[in-house]
Structure 1
Amino acid sequence: MIGFLKNALRRFRDDDEGSAVIPFALWTPLMVGMALSAIEMGALTVRQTALERALDQTVREVKLGTGASYSHEELKLKICDQAPVLGNCEEMLHLEMIGLDMRDWEPPSSQADCVDTAMDVTPQRSFVHGKQHETMLLRACYRYKQVSPPSYLGFILEKDTKTVNQKANYAIGDMVSRETEVLEDEYFDNTFKLLGVLTRNPVLPDELTGLFPADLRITVVSYKEANDKFDVEWSVARGDYPALETQDLNNYTERLPNIANGAELILVETWEDYNPVFRVGLAPLEIRTYSFTHPRYAPQVLYAGAMGENNGWGNGDQDAPGSSLCTNNAENATDCTNEDGSNNVEPNGKSKSKG
């Protein structure tokens, strides 16, 4: 009896019939799950891209349509018209618009209106019309029913780090360019917090390394035709990077546009530490974004921390703040490169000429 069992077990061990079926049975669920996940990722990406594009186009139209006031439903319709790929858009799209005061910061809620299609529809949370030149945060959330069943792997797109950081950079540059009042340090502290909200990054240093996961630097530079160079009027940094100085602009010259004598540019730089989810051939890296824009509603954007320095705003008054009479456009300027003052730039951007 014992010998019979030994022979049976030996035959079972050596028998290779059906060996191809076993791996197939083991691997099939995984392969099907990966296929469904790829379909899920593609469907999510298409809808997310369509929503971002529609939101960008709608917000641009709102900003250019001066004097027009759009209701919640009108904005929703405009976004849905721009994104036909979003099925049942008017019912599945949720909008929230709130005002943000960079001089009196109140952080917006980080909780999204919609997370899972199994949840009840969240009512409209807040939609407040902004005032002229006020910073407004518009958030859109589309409730999407996933393709694959919940038992399979479903991807949640947290963010496209590079794209999100670039959009945040542009938003901050556009916001600063519209300022007509003197900016205080508190303004930049709160702008750094806004960067954290837009990129979903903490704005406090890491407890272990002491380094910031995100950094912000805003610099105003002016062009001087007399010596064909850019000068830093002021620079403010938050995070690990220092403020920019005029000698640092040598690395920026090729990336700056041609502008008129005395004109100014607002440079916005942001950095973000990126740690890949799967570290297979891709090490942690730092993503840097950069943009520039002109002041929109005033010849210059002023920073209170530079008011006692060479801030470039003297309104033609020799007693105005600033360390250079030439920069202050004073009539009796003596320390300029042009002795007759013909190259002194007035706030309206026009050069003086001999009488």
Structure 2
Amino acid sequence: MNRLARFLADERGTATIEFVFVVPVVLIIFMASVESSLYMARYVMLERSVDIVVRDIRLGRLDGLTHAELKRRICQTSALVNSVQQCVDSMRIWMQPINTANFAMVAPPRHCVDRSAPIDPLAPEPSATEFTYGADNDIMLLRICLKERPMFPTTAVGASLIADGEGDGNYALLATSVFVNEPG
């Protein structure tokens, strides 16, 4: 009994036990805050770059711009892009005019780029049902989907972002804009 009493009275290692209990909680909170901050910064920068490019489209400064050039221009304007080509490959753009006779808007598709599929650099431009510039005075609906990989996919924030995705380990940043094409 004397040995058991000495063992229970021994206070060596108490700081280690506290450390083992506290550090994982602090690390989880830190990683979740970094992941959510990075998500918000990426989203804000995507919205900003879309706004800058849409302004140029609306004012007619980018007449004749192709779909691929539009993607490249949005990616070049964004400050949080590691590689412009990777951004272009991860982005999908949907743009259509809104019918002003009845304001019936076609719901933009939810799908984004499938990053698990191989990228075909010689892929044709999207069809007219997916991307068109419209005419003068047309109200245009633009939707951009950019796939990003979470920094900490095993944290609660990273896992919830992935859970809302399409099962490829990435999350989607969606930016939507409505604008009017200025007359020529």
**Does TM, normalized by the shorter one, top 0.5?**
yes
The structure that is helix-richer by fraction is 2
User: Cα–Cα, structure 1 residues 25 and 67, in superposed 2: closer, same or farther, change >3 Å?
Assistant: closer
Find the partner of 1:97 among 75, 95, 98: 95
CA distance, structure 2, for counterparts of residue 107 and residue 94 of structure 1: 17
CA distance, structure 1, for counterparts of residue 61 and residue 75 of structure 2: 22
Question: What is the 5 A alignment of 1:275-354?
Answer: none
Q: Aligned letter for 1:127?
A: F
Q: What root-mean-square deviation, in Å, do the aligned CA atoms of Structure 1 and Structure 2 show? A: 3.4
Counting aligned pairs with the same residue, the percent is 24
1:28 aligns with: 23
CA distance, structure 1, for counterparts of residue 58 and residue 105 of structure 2: 23
What are the ranges of 5 or more consecutive residues in structure 2 without an aligned counterpart? 165-175
CA distance, structure 1, for counterparts of residue 4 and residue 79 of structure 2: 64
1:144 aligns with: 148
Q: Does the CA contact (< 8 Å) of 1:146 and 1:154 recur in 2? A: no
Q: Does 1:64 align with 2:59?
A: yes
1:153 aligns with: 156
The structure showing larger relative contact order (alpha-carbon pairs under 8 Å, at least 6 residues apart) is 2
How far off is 1:138 after superposition? 1.2
Which shows bigger deviation, 52-61 or 132-141?
A: 132-141
CA distance, structure 1, for counterparts of residue 3 and residue 69 of structure 2: 78
What are the ranges of 5 or more consecutive residues in structure 1 without an aligned counterpart? 159-166, 179-295, 298-355
1:128 aligns with: 132
CA distance, structure 1, for counterparts of residue 118 and residue 143 of structure 2: 16
Deviations 1:197-234 (A, max 9, x none): xxxxxxxxxxxxxxxxxxxxxxxxxxxxxxxxxxxxxx
Q: Does 1:47 align with 2:42?
A: yes
CA distance, structure 2, for counterparts of residue 96 and residue 136 of structure 1: 10
User: Cα–Cα, structure 1 residues 71 and 52, in superposed 2: closer, same or farther, change >3 Å?
Assistant: same
CA distance, structure 2, for counterparts of residue 109 and residue 57 of structure 1: 21
TM-score by length of 2: 0.67
CA distance, structure 1, for counterparts of residue 105 and residue 58 of structure 2: 23
Q: Does 1:86 align with 2:81?
A: yes
Q: Does the CA contact (< 8 Å) of 1:93 and 1:143 recur in 2? A: yes
CA distance, structure 2, for counterparts of residue 30 and residue 67 of structure 1: 50
